[in-house]
Amino acid sequence: MKELICLSINDGHCPVAAAFKLLEGKWKLPILWILTVNGGILRYQDLKRCIIGITNMMLTSSLKELERDGLVSRYQYNEMPPRVEYSLSEDGKKLFSIFDEIAKWGVELKRSKFNHDPKPEF
């Protein structure tokens, strides 16, 4: 019998577990995706407007976690009224190619679903 490969999210030595840990949660991937497809820099209200269904509390906490984990940078301008921009950090920008592959995979999934289901629900 083949030995199974297992994964523990709490394993500090596994690079896959470390990546999953950074990206866990409902809103982190959508935030990173929206930053990616909108040029990498957005203000808070623009992020809120682009991510349908996210609450202020969840956007704020997710942005804080992404900033803490080094995937997003926050820049506050010294002006009135206050202006804050969020951008992808250098590590965050490394997700471009991964998101591109996920998008291609999603297109293929939609095509295959459409071909098998005459009334797809998109």
CB 56 within 8 A of CB 88: no
Indicate the pLDDT class of residue 116, thresholds 50, 70 and 90.
low
CATH of 27-116, one of 1.20.1260.10, 1.10.10.10, 3.40.350.10, 3.40.50.10490: 1.10.10.10
Phi, psi of 74, rounded to the nearest 5 degrees: -115, 130
Structure-token match 């950090």, residue found: 89
pLDDT in tens, 52-99: 999 999 999 999 999 999 999 999 999 888 899 999 999 999 999 999
Q: For the chain, which residues make up each domain, given as ranges?
A: 27-116
